[in-house]
Every structure is written in structure tokens, then in C-alpha cells.
Structure 1
Amino acid sequence: MTVILVLGLLFVLLAIGTPVGFAMGFSGAVGLLMVGGSGTLFGILQTAPLSTVSSYELITIPMFLLMAELVLLSGVADDMFKTASAWIGRVPGGLGMATALAGAGFGAICGTSTASAATLSATSLPAMIKQGYEPKMAAGVVAISGTLAMLIPPSVALVIFGLLAEVNIGQLLIGGILPAVLVTATIMATIYFLVWQDPSRAPSVEPVSWREKFTLLWQVGPMVLLFTLVTGTIYLGIATPTEASALGAAGALVLAVAKRRVTPATLYRALLSACHGTCMIATILVGASIFGYFFTLTHVTQDLVAWIGSLPASRWVIITLILCGYIVLGSFMDQIA
């Protein structure tokens, strides 16, 4: 009964717009008070915040967020989209495919789906609409391409999952590359199929000379270098994910300075935005930790695992049901939440 009341309180708080971290922390604290009393509650409140945010690996998050902000500042996303559209623009649905490639490329040096989707909506969406693309198709391509940043290293979502699940973050980041390639290819194949069905959805663009194509190709060089600086050093064992995140942030700063986009005001905004994002994520982690203690004390987690393990169902059925839950939650909640 206590578990049902606490879960009900959590959903009510989420429904009225309470930030996820505070909703989980408050409902978890109420549950701890009901189950273990004030002694248990205050004991956990005294230790949980520090033990949650004092992890050395947590430094990875502000570094990757700062890297994303500096990459946004450098304007490299525009260069990637222009290059991709020049090379495959003549293919049916070429601009849409270029958006998917730009989303994958930007995700490889960004780390957050929110920033990736926002950047693509400001760069590729107007270009597709101007070219005569069907608005709902153009918006759909941007929305799905922005999520690629969750898979491609450096991925803040994978770092947080690694912290929560206590698994190797470096292996998680490397493991996201192949799924990201498959998802990108699937997006491009879907675009081609939809345009093959109805060519009016995506008119062709003007051809670009080979000289201009190769000229534009040089513009993606910094992106490849930055991706190698982060993922390559992790893959080769030269640096840990934490060290690689610092290298990536430094490389992004050099890139922004080289493009003459850095001023005291823009640098301040980038630092402030990275701080805001870090504080939001830290609040969610602390709230999740408090709520997790409540679940542990009530044995809900152990009982749920035992019950699911006893079901006569394939592991793929269980994974599918979990993914369906993610689809529903992802419709109105941020990925980190």
C-alpha cells in the first residue's frame, strides 16, 4: 500500500509540472519517512547527495555539455549539412538524408539530443521547407535525426546510464557506434522509400560541381578530428572517458576560437548553459538515488526482478515491453528524466 501511495504521489507531482529530480526526491523522502521513520530519512538525506554527485566519472557530464555548447557556438553543424547536401542532394530525398547524416555527425561531437535537434531545426529544416519538402516529412526527419546523439559517443545519456547502472562508461560509448550507424542507415532508407512512394514529398535539388563538393568536404575535417580526439582516445585506451571529455571540450574551444566565434559574452553563455544542464542532471541523479533507497527498503526492486524472471516469456518480449514504456514516457519527458 505504501508503494502505491508513493508512486501515486510521484505521478501527481510529475503531472502538475514538478521537475523530475524534485518529484522523485520528495516522493522518495515521503516513502522513506513512512517506511523507516525520521531516523532513516535524515540518515539517507545526509549521505545520498554527496555520495551521488562525488563520483569521479560525473565530471564527464559538464565537460561533454560544455563541448556541445562550444560546438554549437562554432557553427560546425551548418558546414556538415551543406557538405552532406552537396554530395547526396541529387538523390531522391537527398536533403532529408543529408539531415540524417548531419544529425549523426553533429551527435558525434555534441553529446545531447536536445542540442542536436535544436540545431538541425534551425539549419536543415528551413532548407528543406524552402526546397519544397512536405512540412511534416521535413519536421519528422529533423526530430528523428536529432535523437542520434543519444547513441553516438560522446553521449551524455550513455554516461548517465553508466553511472546509474555502474557499468563501464568507455565500453558503453564505443558500443553505441554500430547501433547509431544502423539507425542512421534505416532513417535514410525510410526517407528514400517515402520519396519513392510519392516524389512530390521531396523535390530534387540543383546539382553541385565536383570542385565545390571537394571544397566543402574540407569543412568537415575539424569534426572528424574532434570525434577522433574523444572517441579515438577512448577506443585506443589512451584516455579514460573523463579525460577524453576534457580533451573534447578543449578541442571544441579551439575550434570555436579558430572560427572567430568566441567573445566574452558568448563564452559566458556557453559556460552558464553547461552549468545549468549539469545542475539539472545532478538534481535528477540525487532524486533518483533517494527514490531508489525507498525501493530498496521496501524490496520492490528485488520482488519485481524475481517476478519478471519467473515469467514464461522471452527476454525479447520483456525488452520490447520496456521499450514501449520508454516510447510513452519519451513523448512528454526529457531523455535524461
Structure 2
Amino acid sequence: MIVAAGIIILLLLLVFGMPVAFALGVAGMVGLWLKGGLDMVLGILRATPLSTTSSYELITVPMFMLMAEFIIVSRIAEELFDSAKVWLGRTPAGLAIATALAGAGFGAISGSSTAAAATLSGTSIPAMIRHNYNPRLASGVVAISGTLAMLIPPSIAIVLYGLIAQLSISKLLIAGIIPGLLVTLVIALTVLVLAAINPSHAPAVSSYSLREKVASLRIVGPMVALIMLVTGCIYLGIATPTEAASLGAFGAMVIAAMRRRLTWNSFCNALFSASRTTCMIVLIIICAQVFGYYFTLTGFTQELVSYVGNLDVSRWFIFLLIVLLYLVLGCFLDQVAILFLTVPVVLPVVTALGFDPIWFGIIIIITAEVGLVTPPVGLNVYVVSAYSKIPVKDIFIGVTPHVIAHMLVILLLAMFPALVMWLPSTIVQ
């Protein structure tokens, strides 16, 4: 009864528009009060903020956010599309494929999906529209390509999952590389199929000389250096994720300065933006921990694990239900909120069924990608619409083939877990 009361209060607060952090905190406090009275509530409120935010690994979040802000200042991500366009423009759907590659490149140097979607909207959509691309196809590939920043390291979502699940963040970040490349390939193949069905929707554009192609690679050099500085250091065991994130933020700042884009105002704006986002995430973490204490003290998680373990059904059927749950939640809630709401409850069930938590983490990050482009919330879709002025309805239609393709990727990773687990198994400790 107490568990039901807390969940109902949480859902009602979310429905009436209360911010996720406060909804979690209020529901958790009410549940704790029903369970143990005011003294229990006050005791947990006194201890939770410090115990939750004193984690050393949490420093990774503001450093990756700052890295993303400096990358935006440098505008190198905008030029990634131009470089990819030079190499792929002559092929059918070349500009759309270049957008997917630019999205992957942006994801490899920034963990912000909304920033990726905004950047690609301002560069690739105008180029595709000028070359007579179908607006739905163009906006759809931009919206889905922006989500790659959630999966390809450095990824804020993966770091948060690691903090909640108390897993190796190094292994989780490295585990996202092959699935990230696979998703990029699937996006490219999807636009090729769409172009084959209707060639007029994604025509080839002008070709470039070899000299122009080689010259375009100068944009790629700083990006590769930054990737090696962050992901390479983590993989080789040279630096922890926290240290690598700090190096990445410094490296991104140096790149912005070398490109003469770093001014005092842009520097302060980057610090302010990274701090504001970090404060939002930390507040969600603290309030989710309060809600988590409420679940723990009621014994709900243990009872759920026991109940699921006694069900006479295949563990894959339960896994399918969990994936469907995440897809439904992604239609209504922010991805950070979904992680903090569900992982403490779902992960014990998943591990009790014999699934690897690192593999499961990558699966739910991909389902969270889908949530960024599915109605009615679909944050990336609204970002693309705001920058491109293309109607939201058209973007949702344009992204639908990519959502179907993502479902196939999830199926593939479920059938072949080694695609996720092999690379982290080779990491240098």
C-alpha cells in the first residue's frame, strides 16, 4: 500500500508538470513519512545530499559537459559535416550519410544529444534542402544522428548509468564504441534504402577533386586528437574516466583557442552553461536517491526480484517487456529521469535473470535514443524543428524508418552480446 501511494503521487506530480527532480523528492519524502514518520524523513534529508554528491566519479559529468560546451564554441563540429560532404556528396544520399558521420563525430567529442541535433540542424539541413532533399528525410536523419552522442563515448547517459548501477564507467564507455559505430552504419544504410525507394528524395550532388578531399581532412585532425585524448586514455588505462574527462575539457578549450573562437564571453558562457546543466543533473540524483531509499525501506525491489524469479516464463520474454517499458517511458519522460527512476528497480531483476549489467546498460541507452525521437516528447525532434522551421509532424514521419531500424539493432545486440562485451573485455586495467 505504501509503495503504491508513493508511485501514484510521483505519477500525479509528473502529469501536472512538476519538474522531475522535485517530483521524485516529494514522492520519496511522502513515502518515507508514511513508512517511518517525520524523523526518518529528516534523517535521510540531512544525510543524502552529501553522501550522494561526494562520489569522485561524479566529477566526470561537469567535465564532459564543459568539453561539449567548448566544442560548440570551437564550431569544429559544424565543419565535420562539410568534410564528410566533400567525400560523400557524389553518392546517392551522400549528404544524409555525411550527416550521420558528422553526428557520430560530434558524439565522439561531446556527450550532448540536444547540442548535436542543434548543430546538425544549422548546417546539414540547409545544405540538403538546397540540393532538393526531401525535408522529411533530411530532418529525420538529423534528429536520429543527434542521438549518437548518448551512446558513443564520451556519453553523459552512460556515465550516469554507471554511477547508478555502481559499475566500471571505463568499461561502460568502451562498451559503447562498437554499438555506436553499428548504429551509425544502420542510419547510413537506412537512408540508402530510402534513397533507393525514391531517388528524387536524396539526389547525389557535385563531386570534388582529390585535392579538395585531402584538404578537408584538416578538420578531422583535432577531432581525432581529442578522441584519442579521452577514449584512448581510458582504453589504455592511462587515465580514469574522471581524469580523461578533465583532459578532454582542457583539450577542447585549447582547440577553441587555437581556432581563435575562444573569447572571455564565450569562456564564461561555456562555464555557466555546463554548471547549469550539471546542477540540474545533481539535483535529480539527490532527489532520486531519496526516492530510492523509500523503495529500499519498503522492500519493493527485493519482492519484485523474487516475484519475477518465480515466474514460469522465459527470461527473454521478461527482457522484452523491460525494453518495451523503456520505449513507452521514453515517449513521455526525459532520459536522465528514466535512468534514475528505473535502474535501481530494474537492474536487480535483470542481473537475477542472468543478464550482464554492462550489456543491459548499452541496450537501454539505445532505447533512450529512440525516446529522443518518438512522440509526444521527442526532445531532439523539437530541437530540429526549432532550428529548421520544419513542422514537428513531418520530422516524426521522417524519423520513423530510423526508429524501426533501431529496433533491429537492439534485436541484433540481444542475439550477439559479444558486440557489446568484447571490446571492454580487452581494456587495459
- Shorter-chain TM range is over 0.9
Measure, in 2, the Cα distance between the counterparts of 1:143 and 1:330.
15
- Which AA in structure 2 matches 1:105? G
- Which AA in structure 1 matches 2:55? S
Q: What residue in structure 1 maps to residue 117 of structure 2? A: 117
Residues 1:14 and 2:6 aligned together: no
Asked whether the 8 Å contact 1:107–1:148 carries over to 2, the reply is yes
Unaligned 5+ segments in structure 1 are: none
Query: Could you give the per-residue CA deviations for residues 157-205 of structure 1, whole angstroms, max 9, x where no partner exists?
Result: 1111000000000000000001101111111111101110111111211
Measure, in 1, the Cα distance between the counterparts of 2:71 and 2:23.
32
Where does 1:71-220 land on structure 2 (aligned, <5 Å)? 71-220=71-220
The alpha carbon displacement at 1:332 in A equals 3.2
Query: Could you give the per-residue CA deviations for residues 255-314 of structure 1, whole angstroms, max 9, x where no partner exists?
Result: 000111111111111100000110010011111100100101111111112222222333
Measure, in 2, the Cα distance between the counterparts of 1:252 and 1:314.
47
Measure, in 1, the Cα distance between the counterparts of 2:124 and 2:308.
44
Q: What residue in structure 1 maps to residue 327 of structure 2? A: 327
Measure, in 1, the Cα distance between the counterparts of 2:211 and 2:52.
53
Q: What residue in structure 2 maps to residue 42 of structure 1? A: 42
- Higher mean alpha-carbon deviation, 121-130 vs 185-194, is at 121-130
Q: What residue in structure 1 maps to residue 63 of structure 2? A: 63
Q: CA 1:157/1:83 → structure 2, altered by over 3 Å: closer, same or farther?
A: same
Q: What residue in structure 2 maps to residue 231 of structure 1? A: 231
Structure 1 counterpart SS, 2:109: coil
Measure, in 2, the Cα distance between the counterparts of 1:119 and 1:330.
23
Measure, in 2, the Cα distance between the counterparts of 1:312 and 1:325.
20
C-alpha RMSD of matched pairs (Å) = 1.1
Structure 1 counterpart SS, 2:336: coil
Asked whether the 8 Å contact 1:104–1:184 carries over to 2, the reply is yes
Structure 2 counterpart SS, 1:313: coil
Q: What residue in structure 2 maps to residue 262 of structure 1? A: 262
- Which AA in structure 1 matches 2:240? T
Length-normalised TM-score, structure 1 = 0.97
- Higher mean alpha-carbon deviation, 235-244 vs 36-45, is at 36-45
Moved over 4 A (4+): none
Measure, in 2, the Cα distance between the counterparts of 1:122 and 1:183.
23
- Which AA in structure 2 matches 1:145? S
- Higher mean alpha-carbon deviation, 35-44 vs 66-75, is at 35-44
Measure, in 1, the Cα distance between the counterparts of 2:89 and 2:309.
50
- Which AA in structure 2 matches 1:106? F
Asked whether the 8 Å contact 1:90–1:207 carries over to 2, the reply is yes
Structure 2 counterpart SS, 1:312: coil
Measure, in 2, the Cα distance between the counterparts of 1:297 and 1:254.
48
- Which AA in structure 1 matches 2:299? H
The alpha carbon displacement at 1:315 in A equals 3.1
The alpha carbon displacement at 1:150 in A equals 1.1
Structure 2 counterpart SS, 1:237: coil
Length-normalised TM-score, structure 2 = 0.77
Measure, in 2, the Cα distance between the counterparts of 1:127 and 1:257.
28
Measure, in 1, the Cα distance between the counterparts of 2:125 and 2:333.
23
The alpha carbon displacement at 1:5 in A equals 1.9
Asked whether the 8 Å contact 1:112–1:157 carries over to 2, the reply is no
